[in-house]
Amino acid sequence: MEEREIRNDARGTIGRRRFVTGAMAAAAGAAIGPLAGAPGARAAAPSLLTASAAGRRVAIMGGGMGGLSAAQELAERGFQVTVYERKALGGKARSIPVPGTGTGGRRDLPGEHGFRFFPGFYQNLPDTMSRIPRAGGGSVKDNLVAANLEMIAYKGAQILLPVPGDIAGALTPDAIKDYLRAFITLTTTVPPLEIEFFLSKLVAFVTSGPRRRLGQWENMGFADFIKAGSMSQVYRELLVKMFTASLVAAQPEKANTRTMGLMFEALVYSGLGLGPYGPPDQVLNGPTNEAFVDPWIAYLTGLGVEFKVGWTATALTYAGGRLTGAQVSDPTGATGAVTADHYVLAMPLERVQPLLTSALKAADPALARLSNLTTDWMNGVMIYLREPRPIAAGHLIYAGTPWALTSISQAQFWRNGFAATYGDGTVTDCLSLDLSDWNSPGILFGKTAKQCTRPQIVQEVLAQVRAALPNGAAVLPDSIVRSWFVDPAITGEGTPAVATDEPLFINTTGSWADRPTATTRIPNLYLAADYVRNSINLATMEGACEGGRMAANAIMDAAGSPATRARLFTLYLPAEFNGLYATDDARYLLGLPNQFDLLSPYWPGH
Q: Does residue 254 lie within any of the structural domains?
A: yes
The confidence score (pLDDT) of residue 54 equals 59
The confidence score (pLDDT) of residue 11 equals 25
**Domain extent for 485:** 92-148+282-286+378-500
CB atoms near residue 125 (< 10 Å): 26
> Above 70 in pLDDT, residue 22?
no
Same domain? 184 vs 228: yes
DSSP letter string over 131-165? TSB-TTSSBGGGGEEEE---EEEETTEEEEPPPS-
Structural domain ending residue among the three candidates 481, 500, 519: 500
How many residues are there in the chain? 606
Encode pLDDT of 391-437 as tens digits: 999 999 998 999 999 999 999 999 999 999 999 999 999 999 999 99
Q: Does residue 543 lie within any of the structural domains?
A: yes
> Above 70 in pLDDT, residue 363?
yes
What is the SS3 assignment for 508?
strand
Encode pLDDT of 161-176 as tens digits: 655 666 767 899 999 9
Q: How many domains does the chain have?
A: 3
Reported as a pLDDT band with limits 50, 70 and 90, residue 575 is very high
The confidence score (pLDDT) of residue 165 equals 66
Span 108-129, mean pLDDT? Answer: 95
Same domain? 225 vs 185: yes
Same domain? 169 vs 267: yes
**Cα distance between residue 125 and residue 116, in whole Å:** 13
Contact 409, 141 (CB under 8 A): no
The confidence score (pLDDT) of residue 391 equals 92
Encode pLDDT of 71-91 as tens digits: 999 999 999 999 999 999 999
Span 440-464, mean pLDDT? Answer: 98
Structural domain ending residue among the three candidates 500, 527, 550: 500
**Cα distance between residue 409 and residue 321, in whole Å:** 52
Q: Does residue 417 lie within any of the structural domains?
A: yes
Q: Does residue 532 lie within any of the structural domains?
A: yes
Same domain? 525 vs 549: yes
Reported as a pLDDT band with limits 50, 70 and 90, residue 152 is confident
Same domain? 214 vs 261: yes
| Greatest Cα-to-Cα distance within the chain, rounded to the nearest angstrom | 76
Span 23-37, mean pLDDT? Answer: 33
Q: Which helix H or strand E contains 100, and what residues bound it?
A: none
The confidence score (pLDDT) of residue 272 equals 87
> Above 90 in pLDDT, residue 584?
yes
Same domain? 15 vs 78: yes
Q: Does residue 277 lie within any of the structural domains?
A: no
Same domain? 496 vs 515: no
> Above 90 in pLDDT, residue 208?
yes
Span 503-517, mean pLDDT? Answer: 95
Structural domain ending residue among the three candidates 459, 482, 500: 500
Reported as a pLDDT band with limits 50, 70 and 90, residue 300 is very high
Q: Does residue 581 lie within any of the structural domains?
A: yes
CATH of residue 78 = 3.50.50.60
Same domain? 382 vs 496: yes
Average pLDDT over the chain, rounded to whole? 87
Percentage of residues in the chain having pLDDT higher than 90: 74
Contact 65, 544 (CB under 8 A): yes
Same domain? 397 vs 455: yes
Q: Does residue 160 lie within any of the structural domains?
A: no
> Above 60 in pLDDT, residue 242?
yes
The confidence score (pLDDT) of residue 187 equals 59
Same domain? 266 vs 246: yes
Same domain? 320 vs 171: no
From 79, 90, 84, select the one nearest 60 (Cα to Cα).
Answer: 84
The confidence score (pLDDT) of residue 34 equals 32
